[in-house]
Amino acid sequence: MKRSVRTVALGAVAAAITPLLAASPAQADTRDPVIFVHGLSSSSSTWNTWVGKFKADGYDSSELFTWSYNWKQSNKTTASQLATKVAQVRAATGAERVDIVTHSMGALNARWYVKFNGGTSYVDDFVSVAGVNHGTDLSALCAFYTSCWEMVAGSSFLKTLNSGDETPGSVDYLALYSTCDALVNPDSSAKLDGATNVSVGCISHNNMNDNASNYTKVRDFIA
């Protein structure tokens, strides 16, 4: 819940190995791989803009993982599949932990993974961009899908997800929310107790994870 303090302790040793560090600076800064989780009626391609920006800012393709899933299924099922994805990314990269960046409904299945599928042990930073964290009054319009029904404010799914600690473990949480999100009603639904909650002004729901300023906030948070 609390933002961790990250330090690089070099001290007197730095003076002795300065030539080596200068020759290979990348070794002094190891980043967590980033997994991007899309929302309702979407796919991994929704992250193309931000993935491009991360690459422009020095990230390698081997550090960035987009992921598509069946958004019609229960978020609990998706959470189990995300657990498998995280395990695959950790195995492929050798990383102990990953960062997860989500949009809209993606925040729900990813939060379920963190809270109920062991994710607190494997996630360093968690970002919710326009997350439907406390439901929305519009989700009833597509309630014939299990995932939509779970987004209805007051659903048993949300009651379970939000019971107790909304930001469990030593994970650092960021929640970005718009002041004019037509799909997440009320706007405050996107906030999380215990997270760094940031109002980004009036940005439409579908532009929240395509916005340059929001990208910068996310990049700096997970750095």
Mean pLDDT of 198-211: 98
- pLDDT one-digit tens code per residue, 143-198: 689 999 999 999 999 999 999 999 999 999 999 999 999 999 999 999 999 999 99
Q: What per-residue confidence (pLDDT) applies to 180? A: 97
- Cα-Cα-Cα-Cα dihedral sign, residues 210, 216, 221, 222: positive
Q: Does domain 31-222 have CATH number 2.40.160.50?
A: no
Please tell me whether residue 148 adopts helix, strand or coil conformation. helix
Q: What per-residue confidence (pLDDT) applies to 17? A: 33
Mean pLDDT of 27-46: 88
Q: What per-residue confidence (pLDDT) applies to 24? A: 34
Q: What per-residue confidence (pLDDT) applies to 139? A: 63
Question: ∠219-165-193 over CA atoms, to 5°?
Answer: 55
Give the DSSP letter of residue 95: -
Contact criterion met (CB below 8 Å) for 56 and 84 = no
Domain residue spans of the chain: 31-222
Starting at the edge strand that comes first in sequence, how are the strands of the sheet with 34-37 ordered? 64-67, 34-37, 98-103, 123-129, 172-177, 196-199
The mean pLDDT value of the chain amounts to 89
Q: What per-residue confidence (pLDDT) applies to 138? A: 77
H/E/C letters for each residue in 19-61? HHHHHCHHHHCCCCCEEEECCCCCCHHHHHHHHHHHHHCCCCH
Q: What per-residue confidence (pLDDT) applies to 30? A: 86
pTM of the model: 0.87
Q: What per-residue confidence (pLDDT) applies to 1? A: 56
Q: What per-residue confidence (pLDDT) applies to 5? A: 40
Mean pLDDT of 22-28: 35
Min mean pLDDT across 25-39, 45-59, 138-152, 184-198 is at 25-39
